Amino acid sequence: MIRTQKTIAVLLVLIACSINAARGRLDADPGSVISSARVPFVANEGQVDNPGVKFYARTFGGTVYALSGGRIVYSLPKFEAGRRAGAAALSETFRGAVPVEPAGSVKSAAAVSSFIGGRPELWKSNLPAFDRLDLGELYPGIGLSLSARGNNVEKIFTVAPGADPRAIAMVFGGAHGVEVTADGELEVMTALGPVYFTRPVAWQMDEEVHGSQFTVQGSTVPPPADGQAVDFKGVGREPPAPPDKQR
């Protein structure tokens, strides 16, 4: 039996952004309309002071910034009794990856403008906005894209045939600790409380976009000096080919 090679995609979702002190974890309602609403990534044309920020998305639970070089920063507000009670910053880089530049790939239907402050010369209208960002090829044959919906930020790693997904290693700056929960979620502890990423899900794609899904096992690895690192296990095996592709 010969199997055709498949592209593998791995999805990892930051489950909402705001830290809810009452629950001790992120406040998320996947069934709500807000949770499924698309949130565009907006190009930074000077409305964000840091010139390294290329795009940002203001989700309903916090803000995610895509920076030059491939760094991702999450600004995570904490709420107590319905009021904001501080914020934590969590950065994410990819160990051993080549520097990449985020680029908008799917244009958003949303119109975004920025009229902040009393200086009209700094106001921006009709800013470029995108439903998806492509960060390019982080590792040989492995690309990364970002999208945001409601409270959630989605990372999709696309692994080409022959590429090794075990090369993916996420390093968290500003984290006080990283653990994999009994449910397979990734728990990243911040100064204000835990932040959760979903258990990774992988699926294979071919020219007919078959959606065979299988589970990826996550594991922690010894952290480097600049933060905490996590890699993937279980992605390297090839899932069963669709019946009509087996021969």
Spatial separation of the C-alpha atoms in residues 229 and 96, rounded to whole Å: 11
Q: 11 versus 236: which is more confidently predicted?
A: 11
Angular region, 162: left φ>0, alpha ψ -120 to 50, beta rest: left
Strands 217-220 vs 228-233: parallel, antiparallel or unpaired: antiparallel
The phi and psi torsions of 109 (rounded to 5 degrees) equal -80, -10
Band (pLDDT 50/70/90 cuts) for residue 239 is very low
Give the integer Cα–Cα distance in Å for 143 and 134. 8
What's the CA gap between 79 and 27, in Å, rounded? Answer: 10
In this predicted structure, what is the pLDDT of residue 237? 42
pTM: 0.75
Per-residue pLDDT of 173-188, as tens digits, reads 888 888 888 887 888 8
Longest dimension (CA), the chain: 69
Q: Indicate the helix (H) or strand (E) that contains 62.
A: strand 62-67
Q: What is the mean pLDDT of residues 199-218?
A: 58
Q: What is the torsion angle, in degrees rounded to the nearest 10, for the CA atoms of residue 201, residue 202, residue 207 and residue 211?
A: -50
Kindly report the length of the chain: 247
- Spatial CA neighbour of 172 closest among 77, 73, 56: 73
CA–CA separation, 217 vs 202, rounded Å?
10
Q: Which tokens hold the place of 103?
A: 């680029």
pLDDT computed for residue 84 by the predictor: 75
pLDDT for res 238: 43
CA–CA gap between residue 122 and residue 114 (Å, rounded): 9
Q: What is the CA 179 to chain-centroid distance, rounded?
A: 18
Answer whether 13's CB lies under 8 Å from 154's CB: yes
Helix (H), strand (E) counts: the chain:
1, 23
Q: Are 216 and 10 in contact (CB under 8 A)?
A: yes
Q: For residue range 101-156, what is the model confidence (pLDDT) as tens digits?
A: 999 998 998 888 888 778 777 788 888 999 999 999 999 999 999 999 877 888 88
12: which residues sit within 8 A by CB, 6+ positions away? 154, 155, 156, 157, 186, 197, 198, 200
